């Protein structure tokens, strides 16, 4: 959780001087076709100072996944943008430029879809995911 200081974010900013922001980690397809991570703040303008909320976001359903110890996917793109929440175990996301591990309670927004008109190229596009650590990986996928 980060704090947005000194910025005007509408009427809620008048109520909360230093408004915390939820950090959205985004896995996206960059202009060169490669998957990358970036961070974006999500404002928390609703609720009370003790229970700050974002605006309600639309969703298109969810899925739960269990991946056994040793799981590793092939290179792939996200078919539909979705939030990924790590419920148990550790998930490593591999990109061309390195990898990142997510642990229980962490999340990211997976939006590295195949660029329009492109054919999937495993040497260029997408990411891979893998279970890490001693416990099976349990994730929740929430469609955007």
- Cβ-based burial of 121 (10 A; exposed 0-12, middle 13-18, buried ≥19): exposed
pLDDT, mean of residues 44-54:
92
What pLDDT score was predicted for residue 19?
61
pLDDT tens digit string along 71-91?
999 999 999 999 999 999 999
Mean pLDDT of the chain: 89
Fold held by 20-143: Jelly Rolls (2.60.120)
- Can you tell me whether residue 135 is helix, strand or coil? coil
What pLDDT score was predicted for residue 16?
42
Least confident of 10-24, 26-40, 108-122, 124-138: 10-24
What pLDDT score was predicted for residue 5?
41
What pLDDT score was predicted for residue 3?
42
- List the domain boundaries for the chain: 20-143
Token pair for residue 5? 């200081």
In the chain, the percentage of residues whose pLDDT exceeds 70 is 87
Residue 98 has what DSSP assignment? E
User: Residue written as tokens 């915390």?
Assistant: 20
């Amino acid at each position: 959780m980060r704090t947005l200081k000194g910025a005007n974010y509408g009427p809620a900013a008048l109520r909360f001087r230093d408004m915390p922001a939820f950090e959205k980690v985004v896995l996206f397809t960059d202009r060169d076709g490669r998957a990358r991570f970036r961070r974006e703040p999500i404002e928390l303008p609703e609720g009370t100072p003790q229970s700050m909320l974002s605006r309600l976001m639309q969703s298109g359903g969810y899925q739960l996944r269990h991946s056994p110890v040793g799981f590793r996917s092939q290179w792939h793109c996200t078919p539909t943008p979705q939030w990924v929440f790590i419920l148990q175990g550790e998930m490593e996301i591999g990109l061309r430029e390195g990898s990142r591990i997510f642990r229980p309670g962490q999340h990211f927004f997976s939006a590295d879809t195949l660029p329009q008109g492109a054919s999937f190229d495993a040497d260029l596009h997408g990411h891979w995911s893998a279970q890490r650590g001693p416990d099976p990986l349990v994730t929740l996928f929430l469609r955007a």
